[in-house]
Amino acid sequence: MHVLLTNDDGISAPGLQALYQILSENGEVAVVAPDQEKSAVGHGITLNHPIRVTELPLVDGKTGYAVSGTPADCVKLAFLEILDKKPDIVISGINRGANLGVNINYSGTAAAAREAALYRTIAIAASVQGQRGGDFHGAARYIRHLSLETLKNGLPPMTFLNVNFPALPLSEMAGVRICRQGLSFPDEYLDRRKDPRGKTYYWHGCDFKNTETDIAIDSAAVEKRFISITPIKCDMTDYEAIPGLESWQILNGNSAINR
């Protein structure tokens, strides 16, 4: 299998290194990843700065590509410039820290997989709960298996898989659940502080404690020691809302504003 590997923790992150090691046993793995941590950049891309690409040796002596932009930039660079041909699959991760529920929006890890899916390529985003990371090696072995199964079975066009592992050795996990995305909002806050010059600044802070109880929801499954797999669609249209909107008094722009 031909794999493009990327992430948002940066090219030297241990989660990416674990995947590189395991996936290289089964095929050809290209690495195009940010040159530094790009967490929480969402699906941002770089338009207002030039993008630089640095060639770096990987553990086995092959060449990896460190990109000055976002995870989505990395996928664009790989597809449009670096790779000779499209990979069979794009894998993003393994991220240090879960990407569950509403946090999928902020996740650069998920955005790279979404970017690949928009390019009609099979893609998986993988993350391990906890800032210390868990069993990257075990998680990488599971991702390899899942990749092969995904290539065998296929995915609907423009859908990718978002996979999250509990912070445990693989042998202690309860199993695997196919989940939906949670939509509870995390308990977040802005921590207001004063700098040495007396000027106010804020840190964004968040309590990542799961508040979902239904194990069919991604964060609840991971809390119950399951690996969660959520199929994520690129099409964001709320089709069910369309007929209602068509009945509103909004369809004639000029008469609407001239009332």
Residues 28, 62, 201, 214: which binds a copy of itself (CB under 8 A)?
A: 201
Residues 51 and 73: their CA atoms lie apart, in Å, by: 9
Which stretch, 24-32, 56-64, 124-132, 199-207, contacts a copy of itself (CB under 8 A)? Answer: 199-207
Q: Per rule CB under 8 A, is residue 12 in the interface with a copy of itself?
A: no
Characterize the bridge pairing of strands 28-34 and 2-6. Answer: parallel
Report 14-33 residues binding a copy of itself (CB under 8 A): none
Amino acid code (one letter) for 154: G
Q: Per rule CB under 8 A, is residue 51 in the interface with a copy of itself?
A: yes
Pattern 79-108, a copy of itself, x by CB under 8 A: -xx--------------------x-xxx-x
Residues recorded for the chain: 259
Report 136-195 residues binding a copy of itself (CB under 8 A): 138, 141-142, 144-146, 149, 153, 155-156, 158-159, 161, 170-171, 173, 175-178, 180-181, 183, 185, 188-190, 192-193, 195
Q: Per rule CB under 8 A, is residue 196 in the interface with a copy of itself?
A: no
Q: Which is nearer to a copy of itself, 35 or 73 (CB)?
A: 73
* Coil, helix or strand at residue 139: helix
Per the CB < 8 A criterion, the answer to whether 67 and 34 are in contact is yes
Q: Which is nearer to a copy of itself, 28 or 172 (CB)?
A: 172
* 5: its two tokens: 């590997």
Query: E strand or H helix at 96, and its extent?
Result: strand 89-96
Q: Per rule CB under 8 A, is residue 241 in the interface with a copy of itself?
A: yes
Residues 239 and 136: their CA atoms lie apart, in Å, by: 39
Which among 129, 204, 196 is positioned nearest to 167, based on CA atoms? 129
